[in-house]
Amino acid sequence: MNNTDLTVDICGIKLKNPVIAASGTFGFGREHSDYVDLNKIGGISVKGLTLNPREGNKPPRVAETPAGMLNSVGLQNPGVRYFIENEIQFLRQFSTAIIANIAGNTIEEYCEMAEILSDADIDAIELNVSCPNVKAGCVAFGNTPEGIADITSQVRKHCRKPLIVKLTPNVTSISDIAAAAEDAGADALSLINTLLGMAIDIEARRPILANNTGGLSGPAVKPVAVRMVYEVYRTVKIPIIGMGGISTGNDAVEFLLAGASAVMVGTACLVYPDACIKVCEGIEQYMKRHGFCRVADITGKLMLNT
């Protein structure tokens, strides 16, 4: 049986394995720590942070769908300063990378958070560009190449940590968006964020979510996510972290073959607290079965049909 090396390097971030808990599904790690050994997870992208505490949207905020779920939580969180003062020290007990996911309604808010977090004991900042820009008619920052270039370049000036830009799939060309983020200074990309969706209560003739629409995640989005990672890998030179419907090691390997250097596990963590560990074990089993020694040996090794 061959020796497998699960370590990966994502823009200077050393991970013991390629599996990261995705933002919004793992809290601040504390919530899962009684059920999961956090030392076995490569990294944790913490719950999305805003400059000030945020209550989020009114309920209902979650709806189950076939092979997935819709959520419109609305980024409920205690704010970036609370995170620094109360959560980082807890996470530093464990040998897992800490990625701070940030969100805002103006570029100025993003820049201020990047400045604050650059002095904090974290490993990287993940830029959530799916938020509405209130100064530009509430169109999401990441919906156009111009918009994502603007926010990435501005945040880059204030960010002294590795900067991961999380791409929205709700665009015409994911490759154009990815290229714009890379050109504007992103160190890595993570994709995909949730797809915009809706569920309707036909008896009440109303949307199930109080916010009417929400983000679709879970196994239902995986084929779309794999395709987008495949397209982006052929466009950019910076590392890609793939996500979207990953529940098993085999799911993760699809993303690695398509071009991802690491993966994030999201919705599955809400169903199985140890999903990240199971996914990691599945990747290792695949590597042993096929004789791969390093995770990097899998990345982008998809053989297309001719």
206-207 and 163-166 as β-strands: parallel, antiparallel, unpaired? unpaired
Per-residue pLDDT reduced to its tens digit, 103-121: 998 999 999 999 999 999 9
| Neighbouring-strand partners of residue 101 | 126
Of 11, 111, 131, 159, which one is the catalytic site residue? 131
Residue 249 domain-assigned (yes or no): yes
pTM for this prediction: 0.97
Confidence category of residue 136, pLDDT binned at 50, 70, 90: low
For the stretch 247-276, pLDDT in tens is 999 999 999 999 999 999 999 999 999 999
**Domain annotation covers residue 199:** no
In a domain, 208, yes or no: no
Q: Are 126 and 99 in contact (CB under 8 A)?
A: yes
User: Does some domain include residue 303?
Assistant: no
Split into its structural domains, the chain has a count of 1
> Is 186 within the bounds of a domain?
yes
In a domain, 198, yes or no: no
Q: Is 11 a catalytic residue?
A: no
Q: How confident is the model at residue 1 (pLDDT cuts 50, 70, 90)?
A: very low
Give me the domain span that covers residue 254. 8-52+74-192+216-297
Q: What is the CATH number of the domain that holds 97?
A: 3.20.20.70
Does some domain include residue 305?
A: no
243/237 Cα distance (integer angstroms)? 18
In a domain, 59, yes or no: no
* Contact by Cβ (8 Å): 222, 245: yes
